[in-house]
Structures are given as C-alpha cells and as structure tokens.
Amino acid sequence: MQYVKICFKAVFSVYGLLVFIAIMLLLFPFVVLASFFGKVKGGNIIYMLCQLWADIVFVLWGIRHTNYYEVPHDRSKQYVFVFNHVSYMDIPVLMMAIRGQHFRILGKAEMAKVPVFGFFYRNAVVMVDRSDAQKRAKSVMQLKSVIKKGISVVIAPEGTFNMTHHPLKSFYDGAFRVAIETQTPIKPILFLDTYDRMSYTSVCSLTPGKSRAVYLEEVPVEGLTLKDVNSLKEKVYRLMEEKLIFYKAAWITRPAGTKSAEAGKQ
C-alpha cells in the first residue's frame, strides 16, 4: 500500500506540474500586456490573473480551498499580512486566501530566474536577497513604498521553510519593522493544509484534498516605535504558534491533551 501511495503522488505531481505550466502559458500573453501598465495598475492586473490561475489549477488539482475568519476581516483596510511558511503550495494558497484587496508579496530573488514563471514573478513581487544586508534593506524600502501607494504587503516572517516539527521557526524583524514604520496593522493568516498538499521535502508530493486558511485577529501597531519590534514580533509569534497547535497543524509534534477546533466560517 505504501508503494501505491508513493506512485500515486509521483504521477499526480507530474500531472499537477503539467497543468501548472499549461495554465501559465495560456495566461502569459496577458501578463506581458499587463506589464506595460506600470508597477501599480499593471501589478494589480497581474495579481488578478494569478488569482484566476489559482482558481483553475485548484479545480484541476482537486484541492478544495476554504477561508475561515476568527473575527470579521475588513477588506477596506491595509495590512501587513504574515503567514506560516511550510510548503511549496503556500504562494498558490495565498492567491486563494487574499481576495477583494490589492497586495504584493515579498519573495525570494532566486525564483525570478525560472523561465517564463520568472516574468510573472518579477512583475508581481517585491524581491529580496537575504544573503546581502544592503539588498534586504532595499526590499524593506520597497515594501514601505508599496504601502504608501495604498497596497497591502504579504511577508513570510520565517523567511524560508519551517523544516522542524515545531509550529514555527524563528521570525525575522522585517515584517514588524515595516508595520511599525508605516503604522500598518499586522494580519496573521494560518495555512493549515499546505504541508499535506505538498511537503517541503519534495515537489513530487502533490495530493488532492482540502486547503484551509484561517484569518486571525489583527495586531495593531498604533503608537509603537522601533524599540517595540522585538515585543511585537514575540506577540505575533505566540499568537500564531498557539493557534497552529490549537488547529493541530499536520507537521507539529503535538503536546498531549491538545484539542482541535474548526474556525467560524464567514
């Protein structure tokens, strides 16, 4: 039975990759056209195309996505969205999770080198090279500029995959500095099933099934200064950690006696 599961995942992953590429190629001319409309308007159009891309591939992959809200979410406000990063599926799920408002993602610079996909990427994300302090600082400046234009930003504060059996790995300061310096509230989002849909251990691990994103309460930053970065970071970390344990995220070695629950669907 174990070999059957392995073979199914491998075959389904090849199918999923072909679907991913096919939809990307179909949308590519529209992305090229949108790029001529500038960083703001063109970027917004490209994100709409990426959301269409996600809608199509999720149906063809057999993934059923649902957003849950622990408290009502105000789409008219700007946020610094933060999410837990544990899977190659996180970015497609982001496209399903954040709807009805404009946003930009902070992404790894090396992804821009991928043929065709890199064109989407360069025109849609704020790129960061974490190996260079000056380039990291430049990315923070770009994020602040995006917020000034009335657009939310999305950051994985862990920086890279959480390859532990803990809810989260340690956070970088960037998201919290940006939030404080622009006085933009933080909105944490949990991805509960991306690890099951495609593990960080292999790109050949795609499976159909459920996908859930849980919106937590916003964390205000009004009146905070850069002296409060560490305390804000710790507050958000503890909130996300507690909720990931509460919802029994699959990658966690769970403490005995932890109960699960479903968030209230809005």
Distances (CA, A) of 20 to 201, 224, 244, 260: 19, 42, 29, 33
Range of the domain at 131: 2-246
Q: How far apart are CA 170 and CA 184, in angstroms?
A: 22
> What average pLDDT does range 119-141 have in this prediction?
79
pLDDT one-digit tens code per residue, 15-27: 999 999 999 999 9
Query: What confidence score (pLDDT) does residue 254 get?
Result: 55
Confidence of residue 258 (pLDDT cuts 50, 70, 90): very low
User: Is 169 a member of any domain?
Assistant: yes
Task: State the average pLDDT over residues 136-165.
Answer: 90
Asked if residue 261 is part of any domain, the answer here is no
pLDDT of res. 266: 41
The reported pLDDT for the residue numbered 134 is: 76
Average pLDDT over residues 114-140: 79
Is the CB of residue 188 less than 8 Å from the CB of residue 85?
no
- Counting Cβ atoms within 10 Å, is residue 48 exposed (0-12), middle (13-18) or buried (19+)? middle
- Residue at 99 is within a domain: yes
Report yes or no on 77 lying in a domain: yes
Bridge-partner residues for 191, per DSSP?
A: 213
Cα–Cα distance between 108 and 173 in angstroms, integer?
Answer: 16
Residue 200 covered by a domain? yes
Cα separations in angstroms, 235 against 219, 229, 239, 263: 9, 10, 6, 21
- Strands 209-215 and 186-191 turn out to be antiparallel
Give pLDDT, residue 141.
Answer: 87
Q: Identify the pLDDT of residue 127.
A: 83
Other Cβ atoms within 10 Å of 30 Cβ, number: 14
- Say if 133 falls within a structural domain: yes
Mean pLDDT of 242-261: 75
Q: What is the percentage of the chain residues whose pLDDT exceeds 90? A: 71
In the 3-class helix/strand/coil scheme, how is 60-129 assigned residue by residue?
Answer: HHCEEEEEEECCCCCCCCCCEEEECCCECCHHHHHHHHCCCCCEEEEEEHHHHHCCCHHHHHHHHEEEEC
Please check whether residue 99 is in contact with residue 170, taking contact to mean a CB–CB distance below 8 angstroms: no
pLDDT score of 262 more than 70: no
Q: Which residue has the higher pLDDT, 258 or 146?
A: 146
Report pLDDT for 60: 97
What is the chain's mean pLDDT, rounded?
A: 90
Q: Which of 10-14, 90-94, 118-122, 171-175 has the weakest average pLDDT? A: 118-122
* CATH number of the domain to which 128 belongs: 3.40.1130
Which tokens go with 211? 């996908």
pLDDT per position as a tens digit, 206-238? 999 999 999 999 999 999 999 999 999 999 999
pLDDT at 201 (0 to 100): 83
What's the structural domain count of the chain? 1
d(CA 206, CA 233): 32
Residue 81 φ then ψ, to 5°: -80, 135
In this structure, are residues 111 and 105 in contact, taking their beta carbons and an 8 Å threshold? no
Distance CA 211, CA 200 (A): 16
The stretch 134-138 carries a mean pLDDT of: 77
Please state the rounded mean pLDDT for residues 16-41. Answer: 94
CA of residue 6 relative to chain centroid, distance: 27
Instruction: Give me the mean pLDDT over the 202-209 stretch.
Output: 90
Give the per-residue pLDDT at 264: 40
251 falls within a domain: no
Chain CA centroid to CA 82, Å: 7
Query: Can you give the pLDDT at residue 79?
Result: 98
Q: pLDDT (tens digit, 9 = 90+) per residue, 52-109?
A: 999 999 999 999 999 999 999 999 999 999 999 999 999 999 999 999 999 999 988 7
Does residue 263 belong to any structural domain of this protein? no
